[in-house]
């Protein structure tokens, strides 16, 4: 009898724990009823476990009492269960059974059904491989179709739209955001996006400095959709114009000599460099690259801004100031940059270079196809570090479909997708395997550029910092490269906003 009872108790305990492990979250009438039945079985198991000592003593030591009528036996057991110690014991056992069931419960890997909304700065286009990849996802995941929420405008306007959606009190309509790498710190520190557990996935294939843009505080917060680094475009149809070996070769004295040689050979070149010096993000990028080319370290290789010992000002050293002075000198020389460079965007620079107005252009790899065959050119890695750009896929904190969003993120950033983005869109892939497999022009030069590239200041207040930085650089350009009083202090105050 004792053996039979112990076997019964063991079976009930195992069954109840297994039922807890296999029960889905209660989201409909059927699942609620299953949970009620599961709870009833767990309670019976808890009571049975608690009565093991009582039953064993009753049967073993007082066999005559074990033969009493079943109703009388039940009344005796109920009486014993009424004691506070027994009630506490039963509750603890019930809790233990639930805990065991939840512990062994496998993680739910089913994708939550429903539309996935991606807020991004690119719209749907049949010529954009990112749209092609999304179409592939939609065909293979009909329960999770992707809908693009287009955030139009310049970079700052896109940023404002995404922050407006993600912040508390915002619409919170997006499940994922395609974030510029410089926005990552802000979206992480302010709780707009959720951490991505590594789950044993291989991150080693990603370019090291690229995957670092997705991390903060030792945790992974996004996956890199595409990266970016500057390429140096130079005319290949003029023998006297080799690829520059220094920043001065396309922005300084070497560039001026190249222009003179080209003109003497009968090429009507307007200026050396299709520079982009308008009051946009590209001016921040151009200034940082000028500073780094001169050996400046005001923004380190880890994206940290150097401050004075008392922390009240950004510490612009002699090399940093030399880089700004050289940029100012180039801006004032029409042989080096076109007269309209202060109003030129990246696209306008492409048009100037493609039309043969300039010998050089520092621009993003995606513009290789835009230049096309309009002018003979080659694209090489710049001789000094460029700014690391790119966009990361991040999952909104407010999404109710985190597993589906994670699956989409992994699909868009896997090795095959990265190769497609590179081969058919001209984007800089984020995975090392894509560079190995790629047959595109300048692929290895692009890899070199990405490996050398350095991040911009890593701060949750980057947008404000960049506006103030380029405003100060603009004034310095007009003042022969001299930084105005209070500029370094203003930047330090902005960095403290986080």
Interval 249-272: pLDDT, tens? 999 999 999 999 999 999 999 999
Q: What pLDDT, on a 0 to 100 scale, did the predictor assign at position 101?
A: 64
Q: What pLDDT, on a 0 to 100 scale, did the predictor assign at position 45?
A: 73
Residues 268 and 345 in one domain: yes
| Structural domain range at position 347 | 229-387+456-495
Residues 463 and 325 in one domain: yes
Residues 426 and 293 in one domain: no
Residue 362 has pLDDT above 80, yes or no: yes
The overall average pLDDT reported for the chain is 88
Q: What pLDDT, on a 0 to 100 scale, did the predictor assign at position 125?
A: 78
Is residue 111 included in any domain, yes or no?
no
Residues 85 and 188 in one domain: no
* pTM score of the predicted model: 0.80
For residue range 204-239, what is the model confidence (pLDDT) as tens digits?
Answer: 999 999 999 999 999 999 999 999 999 999 999 998
Q: What pLDDT, on a 0 to 100 scale, did the predictor assign at position 294?
A: 98
For residue range 425-447, what is the model confidence (pLDDT) as tens digits?
Answer: 889 999 999 999 988 778 899 99
Is residue 71 included in any domain, yes or no?
yes
Mean pLDDT, range 298-302, rounded to an integer: 96
Is residue 442 included in any domain, yes or no?
yes
Residues 259 and 380 in one domain: yes
Mean pLDDT, range 54-74, rounded to an integer: 60
Residues 416 and 481 in one domain: no
Q: How far, in Å, CA of 489 to CA of 313, rounded?
A: 4
Residues 491 and 354 in one domain: yes
Which tokens in the block code for residue 156?
């700052």
pLDDT band at 489 (very low <50, low <70, confident <90, very high): very high
Is residue 313 included in any domain, yes or no?
yes
pLDDT band at 490 (very low <50, low <70, confident <90, very high): very high
Is residue 110 included in any domain, yes or no?
no
Beta-carbon contacts of 152 under 8 Å, excluding residues fewer than 6 positions away, are: 121, 123, 158
Residues 139 and 203 in one domain: yes
Residues 266 and 211 in one domain: no
Q: What pLDDT, on a 0 to 100 scale, did the predictor assign at position 335?
A: 96
Q: Is the dihedral of CA 484, 486, 491, 492 positive or negative?
A: positive
Is residue 109 included in any domain, yes or no?
no
Select from 47, 76, 104 the last residue of a domain: 104
Query: How many Cβ atoms are within 10 Å of 41's Cβ, its own excluded?
Result: 18
pLDDT band at 15 (very low <50, low <70, confident <90, very high): confident
Residues 234 and 372 in one domain: yes
Q: What pLDDT, on a 0 to 100 scale, did the predictor assign at position 48?
A: 72
- CATH code, 217: 3.40.190.10
Residues 98 and 242 in one domain: no
Mean pLDDT, range 374-389, rounded to an integer: 96
Residues 158 and 196 in one domain: yes
Q: Are 152 and 128 in contact (CB under 8 A)?
A: no
pLDDT band at 126 (very low <50, low <70, confident <90, very high): confident
Q: What pLDDT, on a 0 to 100 scale, did the predictor assign at position 220?
A: 95
Mean pLDDT, range 395-419, rounded to an integer: 95
The structural domain count of the chain equals 3
Is residue 350 included in any domain, yes or no?
yes
Q: Is 472 exposed, middle or buried (0-12, 13-18, 19+ CB in 10 A)?
A: buried
Residue 336 has pLDDT above 70, yes or no: yes
pLDDT band at 123 (very low <50, low <70, confident <90, very high): confident
Mean pLDDT, range 19-42, rounded to an integer: 70
Query: How many Cβ atoms are within 10 Å of 108's Cβ, its own excluded?
Result: 10
Is residue 367 included in any domain, yes or no?
yes
Q: What pLDDT, on a 0 to 100 scale, did the predictor assign at position 44?
A: 75
């Amino acid at each position: 009898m004792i053996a039979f009872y112990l076997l019964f108790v063991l079976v009930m305990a195992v069954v109840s724990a297994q039922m807890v492990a296999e029960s889905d979250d209660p989201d409909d009438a059927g699942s609620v009823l299953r949970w009620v039945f599961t709870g009833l079985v767990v309670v019976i198991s808890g009571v049975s476990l608690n009565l093991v000592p009582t039953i064993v003593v009753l049967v073993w030591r007082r066999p005559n009492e074990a033969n009493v009528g079943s109703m009388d036996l039940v009344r005796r057991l109920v009486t014993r269960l009424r004691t506070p110690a027994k009630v506490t014991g039963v509750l603890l056992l019930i809790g233990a059974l639930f805990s065991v069931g939840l512990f062994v419960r496998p993680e739910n890997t089913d994708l939550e059904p429903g539309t996935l909304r991606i807020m991004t700065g690119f719209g749907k286009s049949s010529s954009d491989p990112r749209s092609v990849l999304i179409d592939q996802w939609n065909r293979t995941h009909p329960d999770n179709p992707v809908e693009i929420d287009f955030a139009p405008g310049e970079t700052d306007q896109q940023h404002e739209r995404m922050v407006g959606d993600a912040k508390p009190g915002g619409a919170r309509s997006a499940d994922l955001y395609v974030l510029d790498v410089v926005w990552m710190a802000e979206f992480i520190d302010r709780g707009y996006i959720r951490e991505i557990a590594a789950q044993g996935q291989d991150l080693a294939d990603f370019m090291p400095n690229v995957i670092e843009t997705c991390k903060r505080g030792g945790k992974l917060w996004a996956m890199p959709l595409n990266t970016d680094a500057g390429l140096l475009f130079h005319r290949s149809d003029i023998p006297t114009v080799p690829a520059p070996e220094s920043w001065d070769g396309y922005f300084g004295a070497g560039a001026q000599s190249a222009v003179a040689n080209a003109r003497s050979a009968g090429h009507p070149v307007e200026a050396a460099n299709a520079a982009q010096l308008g009051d946009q993000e590209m001016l921040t990028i151009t200034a940082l690259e000028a500073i780094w080319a001169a050996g400046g370290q005001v923004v380190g290789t880890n994206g940290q801004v150097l401050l004075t010992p008392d922390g009240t000002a950004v510490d612009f050293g002699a090399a940093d100031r030399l880089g700004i002075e050289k940029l100012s000198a180039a801006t004032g020389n029409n042989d080096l940059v076109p007269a309209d460079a202060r109003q030129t965007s990246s696209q306008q620079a492409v048009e100037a270079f493609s039309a043969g107005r300039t010998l050089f252009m520092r621009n993003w790899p995606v513009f290789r196809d835009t230049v096309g065959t309009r002018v003979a050119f080659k694209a090489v890695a710049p001789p000094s570090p460029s700014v690391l750009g790119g966009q990361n896929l991040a999952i909104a904190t407010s999404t109710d479909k985190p597993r589906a969003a994670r699956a989409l993120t992994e699909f868009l950033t896997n090795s095959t997708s990265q190769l497609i983005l590179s081969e058919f869109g001209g984007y800089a892939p984020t995975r090392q395997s894509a560079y190995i497999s790629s047959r595109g022009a300048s692929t290895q030069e692009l890899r070199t550029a990405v490996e050398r590239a350095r991040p911009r200041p890593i701060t949750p207040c980057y947008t404000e910092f960049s506006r103030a930085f380029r405003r100060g650089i603009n004034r310095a350009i007009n003042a022969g490269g001299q930084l105005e009083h209070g500029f370094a202090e203003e930047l330090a105050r902005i960095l403290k906003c986080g």
